[in-house]
Amino acid sequence: MRYGGQGMGMGSGFGGGGGMGGMGALREQQRALRALEEGPPPNTWLTLRRVWGCFRPYQLRLALGTVLMLAGLGLMLLPPLLIRTLIDIAIPEHNVRLALLLGAGIFLLPIGSAILGLGQNILSAVVAQGVIADLRERLYRRIQSLGLEFFTWTRAGEIHTRFLNDAGGLQQVLTQSFLGTFANLLTVIGTLAVMVAMDWRLALAALVALPSFALPVLHFGRKRYQAVTEAQVALGRLSVILEETLSLSGAIVVKSFGTEEREAARFDAANLSVREAQVRQILVGQWLTVVVQGLAALGPAALYTYGAYLVINGQVALGTVIAFATYLAQLYQPASSLAGANTTLLGGLALFDRIFQVLDLTPGVEEPIQPRPLPRCPTGGITFENVSFRYRSQGKAISPEVLHAVSFEAPLGHLTALVGPSGSGKSTILSLAARFYDPTNGVIRLDGVPLPELSRRDLRDRVAVVTQEVFLFHATLRENICYGAPDASPAEVTAAIEAAQLVDVIARLPEGLETIVGERGFRLSGGEKQRVAIARALLRQAPYLLLDEATSSLDSEAERRIQVALGQLIAGRTVIAIAHRLSTIQRADQILVVDDGRIVERGTHEQLLRHSGVYQKLHAAQFGPQAEAALTADERQEVGETFTRS
């Protein structure tokens, strides 16, 4: 029987989810996931205000783009006037020179307008990409600041969707809806002003269909918002499946159990949902286009009919009617875009809402506004004072209390060992010591300073952590070892490698320290990855070490060698360690026995064995008469001397 496993709610070495609240917590987790996927009810005006806040850093570029837009609009309004002059004056008067000048203007003015429009479009693209990049950066920093409970509850594919699908989908929205809508609005206003100035009667005839453009917008706008939201949720679920089944770890599980067909069927179902959701999204826009085009045909029909009547009766010149027809083409295109823009705009607001929803999440572990400095040298160790803890999310409790009034001191330069049955709360204690969470009640001090009053940088510089589940980046072995100390000298790297017993591992690798270890360090065995994690932590030279079963994946020989090296290196440091092999902590300065979230026993190995309690049962389960007899006297002496204080 194996004892001393994962702590309550920490999964595999600070994982953060297992055993923390039963079915009630699971239901709460599912509700939280649905809320994150679906988002809150839309608040259009609030979202628009927040969107405008995203544009404020780009006000100068927006102002320059507006100037170019107005200049281009002015040039675009002139050709119909030139056409009217050509038909009503130059042709009747047989003025060839005037006709050539007017023809040149009709040719050159649209080119000038197009050049100005190009400049405006470039500025729009720069602004749009800047806003998207800013949002991605804010998203990344916000997610980084969130507690482990967010990563425990939120699937990686859903997080990726916010960065790739949601933020990427804003490109079209920003350039064609938010900025394009403003350009179309100015075009409509300018064109209407010129038309009214030319002939108010023909202007009224041309505008007969414009009010009806608003009717379909009211119907399709909300449908567009809902369709975009559903499509993004479906894409998020598809991304989750891809992340889970096409990653290295997921692929191994799928192939091990032969569930390729089952996962393919799950992918097909999610893929079908994406297809159906995106088809609905497209159809909403297409139906709106049909309605708008039908309404747009009403205006020209009224203009030409009424204009012909006025020309026949000699009340309006033919050139004026033709100029109006040209303006009408310029008017209805942006007017149609404006009608559809509201629908597309609401779809874009759905994307913004999904991003703002993540930005609004409250970090579970807040950075202090005015952090307190730590003493220059470690002085007080780590102290738990009546610490209780329950898992929370966004201020709401989601589990029963998993730690109950835990108090102990890990004195400076001593080894404090945590032992107990699996799920007793050991890893939760280590998580709180590392400030991955804050306690519900009580206080934890580092060198006399409460952890919430320390800056994140000061805490990480003083505390090194080695978790049971080791994560290595897809990079070289050297980069992984030096991850926490990128400026470490070659001598320091060599010392950490030797201490972690990695010399023989590096010698076997084809490129030594420059070998790419693969995704999650797949080219290394479990024990080798743990040695890399130990070297990475030791290279930090932090005065405090938190070890969560840091040698659980090692064979006995490798573990004995690492324990001897660790015994030399932890002298003068404060160490809190979890170890399922009780032999490795028999010489600990104090052993805390954790059971059901409480410290039920404390003392040295010899003191605890004299009591008929939990520790004695754990020891008997691991070292029954046959198991203990199998240990040689030399092995017991070497293990016992491992943590002897110098």
Give kind and range of the element (H or E) at residue 484.
Answer: none
The whole-angstrom separation of Cα 160 and Cα 163 is 5
Residue 377 falls within a domain, yes or no? no
Please check whether residue 50 is in contact with residue 427, taking contact to mean a CB–CB distance below 8 angstroms.
no
Is 535 in the same domain as 589? yes
Q: Does one domain contain both 573 and 458?
A: yes
Buried b (16+ CB within 10 A) or exposed e, 470-488: bebeeebbbbbbbbbbeeb
Q: Is residue 33, in this structure, part of any structural domain at all? A: no
Co-location of 345 and 400 in the same domain: no
Residue type, 352: F
pLDDT at 4: 33
DSSP 8-state secondary structure symbol assigned to residue 585: G
In a domain, residue 288? The reply is yes
Cα–Cα distance between 323 and 336 in angstroms, integer?
A: 20
Burial of 81-98, coded b for 16+ CB within 10 Å and e otherwise, reads: bbbbbbbbebeeeeeeee
The residues, ordered by sequence, that sit 6+ positions from 586 with a Cβ below 8 Å of its Cβ are: 605, 639, 640
User: Domain end: 359, 394, 422, which one?
Assistant: 359
The answer to whether residues 302 and 412 belong to one domain is no
Instruction: Say how far apart CA 66 and CA 269 lie, in whole Å.
Output: 47
The three-point CA angle 609-611-614 to 5° equals 80
Looking at the structure, do residues 292 and 439 belong to the same domain, yes or no? no
Q: Residue 6 domain-assigned?
A: no
Q: List, run by run, the mean pLDDT of 10-residue segments along the chain (646 residues).
A: 32 42 45 52 74 86 87 88 87 88 90 89 84 85 77 68 71 66 80 85 74 61 71 77 69 68 83 83 72 68 78 83 80 68 67 82 81 84 92 65 91 88 87 89 92 88 82 84 85 86 85 82 79 83 81 62 62 80 76 90 87 79 54 42 40
Q: How many whole angstroms separate alpha carbon 496 and alpha carbon 566?
A: 10
Count of CB atoms situated within 10 Å of the CB of 435:
19
CATH code for the domain in which residue 73 is found: 1.20.1560.10
Burial of 429 (0-12, 13-18, 19+ CB in 10 A): buried
Q: How far apart are CA 228 and CA 285, in angstroms?
A: 11
Give dist(CA 554, CA 547) in Å, integer. 14
In a domain, 322, yes or no: yes
Do 330 and 388 belong together in one domain? Answer: no
Cβ of 533: how many Cβ atoms within 10 Å?
A: 26
Q: In the prediction, which pLDDT does 630 show?
A: 41
Give the residue among 449, 447, 408 at the shortest CA–CA distance from 425.
408
> Does residue 389 share a domain with residue 348?
no
State whether 406 and 292 are in the same domain.
Answer: no
17 inside domain: no
Count of domains for the chain: 2
The full DSSP string for 261-299 is: HHHHHHHHHHHHHHHHHHHHHHHHHHHHHHHHHHHHTHH
The amino acid at residue 400 is: P
For residue 445, the domain's CATH number is 3.40.50.300
Give yes or no: residues 294 and 389 share one domain: no
Residue 441: predicted pLDDT: 92
Query: Do 350 and 398 reside in the same domain of the chain?
Result: no
Residue 487 belongs to some domain of the structure: yes
- In this structure, the answer to whether residues 212 and 159 fall within a common structural domain is yes
Cα–Cα distance for residue pair 119/65, rounded to 1 Å: 8
Looking at 325, 359, 393, the residue that finishes a domain is 359
Amino acid at 524: L
Query: For the stretch 361-392, what's the b/e string if a residue is b when 16 or more beta carbons lie within 10 angstroms of its beta carbon?
Result: beebeeeeeebeebeeebebbbbbbebebbbb
Residue 400: inside a domain: yes
Instruction: With H, G, I as helix, E, B as strand and everything else as coil, classify residue 575.
Output: strand
Q: Look at residues 299, 326, 359 and tell me which one is the last residue of a structural domain.
A: 359
Spatial separation of the C-alpha atoms in residues 522 and 529, rounded to whole Å: 9
Q: Return the pLDDT at 628.
A: 43
pTM higher than 0.85 = no
Alpha carbon distance 389, 112 (integer Å): 69
Work out the burial of residue 2: count CB atoms within 10 Å of its CB; fewer than 13 is exposed, 13-18 middle, 19 or more buried. exposed
SS3 598: strand
User: Tokens representing 437?
Assistant: 């969470």
Would you state the pLDDT for residue 129? 83
Q: Which structural domain, as residue segments, surrounds residue 539?
A: 382-642
Same structural domain for residues 105 and 208?
Answer: yes
